[in-house]
Each structure stands twice: as C-alpha cells, then as structure tokens.
Amino acid sequence: MEPKQDSLGEWRRTKYTAEVTPLLEGETITLFGWVAGIRRHGGIIFITVYDKEGSIQLTVKQDLAPQDLVNALDNVSDHSSIGIRGIVKKMDKAPNGVEIQPIEMKVLAIAKKSPPFQLQGTNIPRIDKLLDIRALALRRPEARAIIKVRRMTLIKVREFFQKRGYEEVTTPKIIATATEGGSALFPLLYYDKEAFLTQSPQLFKEQLVMSLEKVFEIANAYRAERSRTLHHLSEFLSLDVEEAFVDYRDIIRTLEDLMEEVSSYLHLSCGKELSFLGIKDKGPMPEIPELAYNKAIEIVQGHGSEIEWGDDFSSEALGILGKEFPSFYFITDWPATGKPFYIQSKGELSESFDLMSGPLEIASGGTRVSSKDELEKKLREKGLNPNSFEYHLKVFDYGMPPHAGFGLGVERLLMILANQSNVRAVSIFPRDQYRLTP
C-alpha cells in the first residue's frame, strides 16, 4: 500500500529557506520544498530540505517531536515534496547558523524514483541526460544560478529600454516572408496558405518606428538550423531593438551602454550565483573595442588563414579573433555583399556591426535602408521578389524615417554572462534539430 500523502489545505509558505536567519530565532515558520537527505544520528534525525532559493537543516529529536511526524519520516524518500511548520533555532554548527525544529509536517508527494543524475554535488552530468528530465534538472544548483542570472538580465534589459523611452512591443510569430535567408525557415500551413515561423521581427520592428519611433521586443525566433553546434538553437529568445532618426553608430553606443549596465547589475543582484558559476567581479566593464571588418580580415590573414576579403568569418577565423579579443568587441563596417537586403550600404561596405564575445556572435545590427526604391533594388539583387514584400514596401510611401537597430540572441548573451559553453544549458526547454521534447 502506498503511504498516505497530505493535501496542501490551508498551509502557505511564510519563508524561503534562504530567508531563514538567526534573527528569526523562536519564530514559527512554514517552509515548502524537497528532501535532499535524511540522516539519523543517536536519537536525532537530520533532514535537509531545499527549495528554489537554497536549503536548510531540520532537526527532529525523536523523543520530543510529535510521534506521527517521526513515523511519517520513515516513508519519506529523498526528493519527496514536503511542507514543514517549525521553530527557528540558532545553531552555530548548522550550515546557515540556523536550523528548524519541526512541529508539523505534510508529506505532499513521495518521490517514487531516484533521479537519474545527482541533484546536489558538483559533478555535471551529460547535458542530454539533464535535458531529458529538464523539470528535475532545473533543481540543480547551477541551473538555479543560471535561471537567476537570466531573470536579472531580463529585468535589467526591460528597465534599460523602458527608462530610455522605448516601447515594448510584440509582433507576429507567424509570417509570410523570410528576412534572414530562406533556407532556415520552418514552414507551416496557415489555413490554406503557406506561412512560416518568424526568423526575426525585422520588418515589423522597422515598420513600428514610423509611429512609435523607439521599440524593443523580447520574443522567440525560429531557425531551422541543420548544424548541431554549441551555440545554435532552433528556437531562441531574441532581443530586438529599432529606433528612428539614428544610425548604426548611435545603436553601437546604446548596445555598449546596455552591456555595461547589465553586467554591473548582475554583480549587484546575483554576486553569489556568479561566483558559484565561476565568474569574478572585475569591477566596471571597460569600453568595448571596435574592429573594422577590413582590419579583422588583416588579423586573420596575418595568422596564415586562407580567408579573402568579402568572406564571412569561419569558425577557425573566429577562433583567431577570439584569442585577440577574449571579451566583448564590435566588428563594424562589413562588406555590403554578405549583408541582408535591409542593411544600408556605403560603397562596397555597409553600415553594420556584430557584437562579439571572443569567437561568439552575440548580436548584429546596422543602419537600415529607408528609401523604398533602394530597398526594392536590394531585394532584386538578393534574388527576392519585391512583390512578395508589397505589404512592407508600401509603408515606405508615408515618410519612413532614417532608422537603425539590432537583434541580440539572449541565450548567446547568457552563455557569456553565466559562463556556459553550451547554449542548451541557458535555455529553459531548448529546441534543436534532434530535440522536440520535453
């Protein structure tokens, strides 16, 4: 027979484990969480309970504690979900200088299986094993630290743009035409028409500057990436920014300010998590250096690489640049030929940039084409049919201002901020070519 499990009833949490300090001595509190381990020593039972914020020790003196509580503990396996009402006691020897003496316990869900990987402890199991039961793997301390870095990053990004007067927008994810090259699109049937999942809100954010002037969006984008790399997802969180009456130089400065503010906010708001993830506080972030594409090519060629002017940087070339620039840097003024149709050219170059960190591309952006004739010409040059973009081109007849912007891969940024080498570790439920569940 299965041991009886309790219902939540009227119980509600009064403290997270991390909020319990010796200052609460003598208070009765209610905690919820999972059992990390039960040890019996003499007449005492030590139980470690963890929740999303941390863990705490419960101490049950067998002869003094309520007998039904002591008996119930016999059936509680590790990682079962419990509620505890207990009294806070200062205890120098306990992990946080404090412990709880339980007076009542609810066993809410008994864990029937042992996790297929360690939930505590520092050895990191294979990522695929963790991703197969992501809901459980997210209880691991480094996953919790990453999730907190993610939360604080998103809070700061939103605050940054809201304070500067940008409108937060959401744009359609089901779209009619590609913007970033057709091969990476996910097609779908939209009633009886062919449609696609969006690769980027590019055209929508550009249209919105005609009225809202400064916009940002944080939303998923989709790319049918065939290559299995450590930094490509099929569904990624994209931070998109677009602004009227500025050019790419202004946007570079905005992005630099954003990186600086996010970085210092993280050191303030999650210093403990950053140091757990192996990141040191090096003080204020230095200015982000800029490297013109022409110069970057020279550096790579100087290392004997076969690369020619106009080529995109291969992973080998990025490795060379990454050694010279191990932190953030911008590569600016790319050749016009390799850039999408909406990027403004200047001669054979373009008003464009990528934000890099070592070999990893974090963001890309530029000044946009704001003349309709020019945009039509560029569409044709790219082998695209302007008629398919009629819905977009027609708004340019109503005074499209000069504008510029960028798109940033949030998971790519989090790889850097949380010191992770695999993008899947910073995505909550990652999608790639081989993973469609959970």
Smallest gap from Cβ 240 to ligand AMO, in A, equals 6
- Residue 418: count other Cβ atoms within 10 Å of its Cβ: 26
Cα(258)–Cα(276) distance, integer angstroms:
24
339 binds ligand AMO per the rule CB under 6 A: no
Give the strand pairing for 187-190 and 193-197: antiparallel
406 binds ligand AMO per the rule CB under 6 A: yes
Pick the closest to residue 383 from 183, 224, 208 (CA basis).
183
Residue (32 or 313) nearer to ligand AMO, CB: 313
Query: CA–CA distance from 240 to each of 211, 214, 361 (Å)?
Result: 17, 11, 15
Cα(227)–Cα(221) distance, integer angstroms:
17
Phi, psi of 233 (to 5 degrees): -120, 155
Residue (60 or 203) nearer to ligand AMO, CB: 203
Among 15, 156, 412, 424, binds ligand AMO (CB under 6 A): 412
For tokens 């008996």, the residue is 71
Residue (55 or 207) nearer to ligand AMO, CB: 207
405 binds ligand AMO per the rule CB under 6 A: yes
363 binds ligand AMO per the rule CB under 6 A: yes
Cα(76)–Cα(4) distance, integer angstroms:
11
Cα(165)–Cα(241) distance, integer angstroms:
12
Residue (226 or 394) nearer to ligand AMO, CB: 226
Smallest gap from Cβ 423 to ligand AMO, in A, equals 6
Residue (171 or 238) nearer to ligand AMO, CB: 238
Among 156, 232, 403, 424, binds ligand AMO (CB under 6 A): 232
260 binds ligand AMO per the rule CB under 6 A: no
Smallest gap from Cβ 178 to ligand AMO, in A, equals 11
Cβ–Cβ < 8 Å for 81, 135: no
Among 24, 105, 233, 288, binds ligand AMO (CB under 6 A): 233
- Can you read off the two tokens belonging to residue 25? 């001595």
Site for ligand AMO in 154-183 (CB under 6 A): 180
- Residue 87: count other Cβ atoms within 10 Å of its Cβ: 15
Smallest gap from Cβ 116 to ligand AMO, in A, equals 27
- Name the site residues for ligand AMO (rule: CB under 6 A): 180, 200, 202, 223, 225, 232-233, 236, 238, 240, 361-366, 405-409, 411-412
